[in-house]
Amino acid sequence: MGENEAMATVLVVDDEPIVRDVVVRYLERDGFQTLVAADGDTARELIERSQPQLVVLDVMLPGTDGLALCRWIRSRGDLPVIMLTARGEEADRIVGLELGADDYVTKPFSPRELAVRVQTVLRRAAPPSSTARRIELDGLTIDPRTREVERDGEMLRLTAKEFDLLFFLASNPRQVFSRDQLMGRVWGYEAAVDTGTVTVHMRRLRAKIERDPSNPRHLETVWGVGYRFVP
């Protein structure tokens, strides 16, 4: 693990003490600092006061639920969020991704897998190399140094993972990538996982950067294969 990841603070939000304790144990063993909250209101206070680098967030919480808290987090910026969802609750997972969650893990889950995903999301959210080039085309500007995207002079609000996906595709123009390849190159997961995450992020990206999302000019679907960026 890199130094920045090891020193990162992770907020674990779950109303089940056993889940919190197990997750915290694995994260701290990997060198992370941790904060815990059993409900959404406490989590909000900790985010404002302690400014963690990532939030592990259960969907089912007393009071303010995880989806509402994810919406609040995303309204404030691009703090990475990994959602915890119950097995079979696909609707919660999709809504969480639509709201801007960077990833999800289904309960019951492997604490080791969750710790790896935390590392991966933080690594992907780290600033890119200072030599990474700025991309400008057709009124769209993508700046990897500031992680800012503008369209026709208007600043767009992208989540960390949306930016990563857009910058990766735009850095490899016209090259077609399957969903599995994008999960590996952008999310960092080489093993077989649910690639629906890619589909949801692509839909959100199109809504933000395309002038006509229903007829995308830059983020094209290559049916039966995957996606590509057309400059």
Can you tell me the distance from the alpha carbon of 51 to that of 90, in angstroms, rounded to the nearest whole number?
30
Q: What is the pLDDT of residues 169-196, one digit of tens each?
A: 998 889 999 888 888 788 776 555 566 7
Tokens 């604490």 belong to residue: 111
pTM for the predicted model, two decimal places: 0.66
Residue 45: how many CB atoms within 10 A of its CB? Answer: 11
What average pLDDT does the chain have?
85
Can you list the domains of the chain with their CATH numbers? 3-125 (3.40.50.2300), 135-229 (1.10.10.10)
Can you tell me the distance from the alpha carbon of 165 to that of 115, in angstroms, rounded to the nearest whole number?
22
Vertex 221 angle, CA 220 and 222, to 5°: 115
Q: What is the pLDDT of residues 44-100, one digit of tens each?
A: 999 999 999 999 999 989 888 899 999 999 888 788 999 998 766 677 777 777 788
Tokens 């492997």 belong to residue: 110
Question: pLDDT band at 35, cuts 50/70/90?
Answer: very high
Inter-residue contact 165 to 206 (CB < 8 Å): no
